[in-house]
Chains A and B, each alone.
Chain A
Amino acid sequence: MCITCGCDEPEANHGNPKHITLQQLKDAAEAAEVDINQLKKNIDEGLKRYAGAQ
């Protein structure tokens, strides 16, 4: 899915580059040399630490 909106369209940015696509996350994982599971964990931890996510 488009990671930010829950639309079930993994590569759709809905005409707005502010939406995060699956490919962008894969590219980020590759750049950070982590697999997708570690990327998920890192994002989750980052959101908890810096954005008040539960």
Chain B
Amino acid sequence: MTTGSIWSQRRVVAGRWTLKDVVQGKPFGHPSHPPFVHFPSALLPSALIFDLASRLDPDLTFTRAAFYNIVLGLVVAMFAAITGLVDYLPMVGGSRKKIIGTRHLIAQLCAVSLFALSLLLRTFDFYATQTPLGAMIPAVAGAVVLTIGNYFGGTLVYRQGMRVSTDL
């Protein structure tokens, strides 16, 4: 099977798995992308909830909780991005799955970028007890775009059956 020149077909693990197989989670009998996606999907919007709490009840605890939620969400999002790209890149161009995958990819990239911007803006007033509105705006936009991206990801799995198989 040829999946493009960017993927080595050399078996590197136990003489059975390629590097791509390992990143996709095949040796573990489970797709590797899903365990990572839930963390940013939960942590990033949760930051927004802490932001709202800080506006209602100014407290450093809320702003710090929001800050570290975004940090952790972005860190895990990197692993989600790597495992997702390994599934996405070999898809056949023009196929329905790749079209939906591209929408999912673009939306999640935008969402992560918006939250990264929000994080950057928070660092200018690290000891604020209320999240600045300027930092909340990209977070709100990021949460909306993230939800749209999650919708496309869900479509890939639950409707298109991506990585839903007895042979992972």
Interface residues of chain A, those whose CB is within 8 Å of chain B, are 1, 5-16, 19, 22
Whether A14 and B162, one on each chain, are in contact in the complex, defined by CB atoms closer than 8 angstroms, is: yes
Set of chain A residues within 8 Å of B163, measured between Cβ atoms: 9, 12
Known contacts A6-B98, A10-B1; is A15 also within 8 Å of B92 by CB?
Answer: no
Which residues of chain B from 11 to 48 have a CB within 8 Å of any chain A CB?
A: none
A33 → B minimal CB distance (Å): 23
Residue total for B at the interface (Cβ-Cβ under 8 A): 19
Partner of A12, one of B90, B91, B165: B165
* Majority DSSP secondary structure for residues of B touching A: loop
Nearest chain-A residue to B156 (Cβ)? A7
B91 to A6, Cβ gap below 8 A? yes
Nearest to B94 among chain A residues (CB) is A6
Residues of A within 8 A of B92 (CB): 1, 6-8
Whether A16 touches B161, Cβ cut-off 8 Å, given contacts A5-B96, A6-B96, A8-B3, is: yes
For A16, list chain B residues within 8 Å (CB).
161
Expressed in whole angstroms, the minimum distance between the Cβ of B33 and any Cβ of chain A is 13
Q: Which of B97, B164, B165, B167 contacts A6 (CB 8 A)?
A: B97
A/B interface sample: 5 pairs, CB < 8 A: A5-B96, A7-B160, A12-B163, A12-B165, A15-B164
